[in-house]
Structure 1
């Protein structure tokens, strides 16, 4: 069994499944994907991801505000985050983090929000899902400053081995998406070879970043199988072994998730 450890089910392009999320999830289940973590990105979609976790037994969710969804003067409040995190379907906080690639001018706002999410993570004890792009030094500095007692994950990892090693040394996991299959991703593939087996997750980040051979099309949770198959070959292990290991890793990182088995 595989787990799609990071997907945006409320944002999927469902045209390939006649507009039906039920059909999209069933297509994934038929390919061996047994669980889905649906990610919160804003206050506006918190209700939607919680509703999906209530609707489907094999879907859990997170709540948080993505660094590119922040509005100046309207950053999330700690009380709001902690209240949202009380929902039984919410197994993690985020995604949160820093993205200086698209909005370097919003660095201070992003830093405040990231610290707030890390404070919430310390209070509630749930793992944090970190988005980081072009913000290596500040991301690592804030994670060291927070000194979280529980593990978290750097999702859709695209940075170098030095950053991966620094995060691993702090107890974090590394999650890889379809980007690892792209032709120009040689440096990322080197990271993928080196991540310890017990710290590796797989994800789609759907509807974004469809893996080869689906690149350029809307991504779907069923395509996490392509990511896992590619990684198994890259790492020189059997597909079943990689699926079993990454599922065990997911269950360890997200102990509140309702993963079967």
Structure 2
């Protein structure tokens, strides 16, 4: 079986056919999925979904792009919800310097607060990093995020950065659709060189659709395409990729049954 460790089934792109999307995922042996909420509306929808489906779990946090909108009341609410047995991680949080909605210093402050929150509730952290690798890794180290560990979501940095995250921060590397792109040298290099025991699978659906469906809406049933490319790069079987990456996810997200 596979696990999609990062999917936005709470996105409006699934409003018309969510049940069909979920059915296709299950038929593709994607038996568990972690729905990510990153602001008030998406967290509320994630909580509704995990109540409705046994095999869905939630990660909840505040996205760095919207850090300027995050209040201490929002963080207290997230901390309360984190006690739910099916909330398995804090995030996605982190830094995003690509968009300029939230000033860097505010992003960093909200990021630090969520690391502290994760440590209080003893849950791993889901990291969003875009154009901010040095600051992201530095803050994780300064705040001792290794105490709870976590995942570098949709990892696009170098093998060297991956090794730092694994060895010094107790983090795991998550790969999605970009590893299947023909010109994606970095994700392919990471998939090839990082040991499978430090890799997980995700779609980030409805975004980052893998080849050959690039440009269309992504969905969790595409996880086997990502696994197949990693298997090809490592010269192992898809079954080996499925088994190890799912074990890795169970270990990190220890609340998943």
Give the TM-score category using the shorter length: over 0.9
Q: 1:73 to 1:227 in 2, by over 3 A?
A: closer
**Separation in 1, partners of 2:103, 2:232:** 40
Q: 1:73 to 1:39 in 2, by over 3 A?
A: closer
- Report the number of matched residues: 255
- Could you say which residue in structure 1 is the equivalent of 2:207? 208
- Could you say which residue in structure 1 is the equivalent of 2:149? 151
**Separation in 2, partners of 1:70, 1:146:** 18
Runs of 4+ in 1 over 6 A off after TM superposition: none
- For structure 1, the 5+ residue unaligned runs are none
- Could you say which residue in structure 2 is the equivalent of 1:176? 175
CA contact (8 A) 2:150 2:171 kept: yes
Q: What TM-score do you get using the length of structure 2 for normalisation?
A: 0.94
CA displacement at 1:104 relative to structure 2: 8.1
**Separation in 1, partners of 2:70, 2:49:** 29
CA contact (8 A) 1:75 1:113 kept: no
CA displacement at 1:76 relative to structure 2: 6.0
CA contact (8 A) 2:68 2:101 kept: no
- For structure 2, the 5+ residue unaligned runs are none
CA contact (8 A) 1:61 1:91 kept: yes
- Could you say which residue in structure 2 is the equivalent of 1:85? 82
CA contact (8 A) 2:95 2:128 kept: yes
CA displacement at 1:73 relative to structure 2: 6.8
Which string of whole-angstrom CA distances, capped at 9 and with x for unpartnered residues, describes residues 53-89 of structure 1? Answer: 1110110001111111223574665422211211222
- Could you say which residue in structure 2 is the equivalent of 1:10? 10
Which string of whole-angstrom CA distances, capped at 9 and with x for unpartnered residues, describes residues 98-119 of structure 1? Answer: 0112228621111011001100
**Separation in 2, partners of 1:224, 1:182:** 14
- Could you say which residue in structure 2 is the equivalent of 1:185? 184
Q: What TM-score do you get using the length of structure 1 for normalisation?
A: 0.93
Q: 1:55 to 1:105 in 2, by over 3 A?
A: closer
Q: 1:105 to 1:255 in 2, by over 3 A?
A: closer
The SS at the match of 1:45 is helix
CA displacement at 1:27 relative to structure 2: 0.7
Q: How does 1:1-261 map to 2 (within 5 A)?
A: 1-11=1-11, 13-14=13-14, 19-72=16-69, 74=71, 77-103=74-100, 106-148=103-145, 149-169=147-167, 170-258=169-257
The SS at the match of 1:209 is coil
**Separation in 2, partners of 1:73, 1:152:** 22
CA displacement at 1:221 relative to structure 2: 0.7
